[in-house]
Amino acid sequence: MDERFSKTDRELFDRIGEVLHYIWDPIGVSCEPNARDEYSNYAPRCFSILKSCGDDPKSISIYLSEIREKNMGMPEDKSKNLAVAKLIIEWGKAYG
């Protein structure tokens, strides 16, 4: 993340990365110490969607579904993606 972002935005970005790694974790690597950055490429887009869409979890959920299906070749898990999207929004509110 760029240095021009505020400390609050940086912390929010880090929380999004943690949510993706420890809660979303579609391939089950959260217990592997060397896999901490497995989902880090997806955090910037989640952050961007959060900043532009505010309280609507749909856009984040759709993005997570696309990653699961297109990038990972895994079946869709709409309920998990929506739950994770809602959690990311809650973090956004906490840092808002």
Whether pLDDT at 6 is above 80: yes
**What pLDDT, on the 0 to 100 scale, is given for residue 8?**
95
For the chain, what is the domain count?
A: 1
Does some domain include residue 1? no
The CATH number that applies at residue 24 is 1.10.340
Does some domain include residue 27? yes
Does some domain include residue 24? yes
Q: For residues 49 and 51, what is the distance between their CA atoms, to the nearest angstrom?
A: 5
Q: pLDDT above 90 covers what percent of the chain? A: 89
pLDDT in tens, 47-60: 999 999 888 999 99
Does some domain include residue 12? yes
Mean pLDDT of 84-91: 98
Whether pLDDT at 1 is above 90: no
pLDDT band at 2 (very low <50, low <70, confident <90, very high): low
What's the pTM?
A: 0.92
